[in-house]
Chain A
């Protein structure tokens, strides 16, 4: 992977007694799409705020472009970032053009022809040209999000930070946003996308970061993470009758077998075994309808990671009880209460 554009080093952020981010150590590469996945309260927004220096860390450090956002370099960091927050944070009493003009001035584009051209370009990209002279208070949620997105790319940022950017968008606009994200990295930029919608990140992420309760559960390239949970090939067999596939459970090439109705998800020793399996099934009278290689989705990955974390937390809690060292302060205690999917 490329050099990191963002580096969290043992970063902590607390709000009173609440730990929003606990000792996060993580690197996000340049010219790549990093997707932070996690439920509400996972620490995604806090991480985003720490990146721009909107929030100072309570401990550890954050580096962006090799600079510290809370130092005198903060202005440069923020100027090189484009941010779309979970709420569009637009000025309702101003027109769309005024909102974009305000951002253009704050980000150093001034009020001249350059700013006007950028405003025209960004608004055209998100299909809001016709609404630019209307007050934002009258915009629909989708239009507000599109305006916020246009504002975020106005100054041509090197790093785009998107916090739930498609919430409230219709499918067409959401697809347009995801296309933009791909286009941004194609242009050599870096993107950090926070979401709890796994489908959104599917096929987009170069790096997946799974967070929960302010803690990093796992991070890595999707392929690597998938290999960690599914190191052997997985194949889905669909047969006409539900029991026609069960004979596979006894075959040595089959490492794991799980059937729902007439579809069996089978882990095999290697890909070379698959033609043999098909031949033997057919010879045994199975009426095969489909044989598909199974590619785990981000959703599978996310739940697999959560399951592992929950199991580990449960084990640690049990060990603490057995050893008599349970003082209720186990750091992973919260994870144990999350029910496995």
Chain B
């Protein structure tokens, strides 16, 4: 191994410092209106605007054409899923199925997209702005910096999920609840998806994205590469989420467990990608 690439010796991790790095990154995100507004718009669109319009169209307006088309689509659902559908009228059944089954990918796509966008810029951004130099000369270990950056990327995605999930639950319960005999959301499968399926995929995605961010020379390159990396993961997470919601037996649990293992491994490898010299300015002066 070349001496210049020797990893930093392990020292005890100061979690206070990890949180300091994460909190400072988050504070900058909050200050960045150009980042915050699209994030709010994206979350609102997928968690509030689209479900509200669609569910209102089905349950309140009762558009025969829309219900007919959605009902046809619902016939393609597996039997295990069909048996879970509640409600007696076609509007109620369609509303229930849409709420529980068809918006599931949203819960996966939105946080993955947001966390990827934040994570891609986090390390290379420090290099581009020259602030990485300050971190490189600071007592914070590369492990603390990495964990701080990871937290700073995870939190916006997960806050979006928490807030979006809460808003979405309220909306579907208010609009569809009266049609199916009361509040029904979130279902057990949704809890599994949010707490078991989503986190490891988010972690795998971020472990890859942070590694890229530590290696490339510009934020634009990091964003492009991250898009390529995160897209297949979003597809896998999407199918996994769908499997959970459709009640595909133990498979989602097994895949979830494997994803957790993959996430653990990915994060450990990712930790090694952050090196002090990689925080130094891109156009490094000699």
Contacts and interface: CB of A to CB of B under 8 A. Distances in A.
A43 B136 CA distance: 18
A56 B4 contact: yes
Contacts of A40: 285
Contact of B4 (A58, A81, A89, A108): A58
A103 B134 contact: yes
Contacts of A94: 24, 27-28, 31
Given A71-B9, A83-B137, A93 B31 contact: yes
A89 B138 CA distance: 12
A18 B286 contact: yes
Contact of A107 (B8, B131, B138, B279): B138
A45 interface: yes
B126 to A, nearest CB: 9
Contact of A91 (B3, B4, B8, B24): B24
B224 interface: no
Contacts of B286: 15, 18, 20, 41-43, 45-46, 214
A102 interface: yes
Interface string A242-282: 00000000000000000000000000000000000000000
Given A54-B276, A58-B4, A98-B24, A86 B139 contact: no
A183 interface: no
A49 B277 CA distance: 9
Interface size range of chain A in the complex: 35 or more
B11 A85 contact: no
Contacts of B137: 49, 52, 54, 78, 81, 83, 85, 161
Contacts of A311: none
A106 B140 contact: yes
B284 to A, nearest CB: 8
Contacts of A83: 134, 137
Interface in A151-209: 151, 161
A114 B281 CA distance: 32
Contacts of B28: 91, 93-94
Contacts of B27: 93-94, 98
A18 B286 CA distance: 10
Nearest to B140: A106
B31 A72 contact: no
Q: Most A CB atoms within 10 A — which of B4, B134, B138, B280?
A: B134
A106 B130 contact: no
Contacts of A161: 137
B5 to A, nearest CB: 8
Contacts of A300: none
Given A54-B280, A91-B28, A85 B138 contact: no
Interface in B12-33: 16-17, 20-21, 24, 27-28, 31-32
Contacts of A59: 3
Nearest to B277: A55
A239 to B, nearest CB: 47
Contacts of B134: 83, 85, 89-90, 103, 151
Contacts of A53: 276
Given A56-B277, A89-B131, A105 B17 contact: yes
B4 A78 contact: no
A18 B131 CA distance: 25
Interface string B248-286: 000000000000000000000000000011011100111
B272 to A, nearest CB: 15
A56 B6 contact: yes
B69 interface: no
B131 to A, nearest CB: 5
A334 to B, nearest CB: 13
Contacts of A81: 137
A98 B140 CA distance: 17
Interface in A18-50: 18, 20, 40-43, 45-46, 49
B24 A54 contact: no
A91 B6 CA distance: 29
Contact of A86 (B10, B31, B285): B285
B129 A92 contact: yes
Given A83-B134, A89-B133, A105-B20, 8 more contacts: A45-B284, A54-B277, A56-B3, A85-B130, A90-B131, A91-B24, A103-B134, A151-B134
5 contacts: A42-B286, A54-B137, A55-B277, A98-B24, A106-B140
The 4 closest A-B pairs by CB, nearest first: A54-B136, A93-B31, A83-B137, A72-B9
Interface of A: 13-15, 18, 20, 40-43, 45-46, 49, 52-59, 70-72, 74-76, 78-79, 81, 83, 85-94, 98, 102-103, 105-108, 135, 151, 161, 214
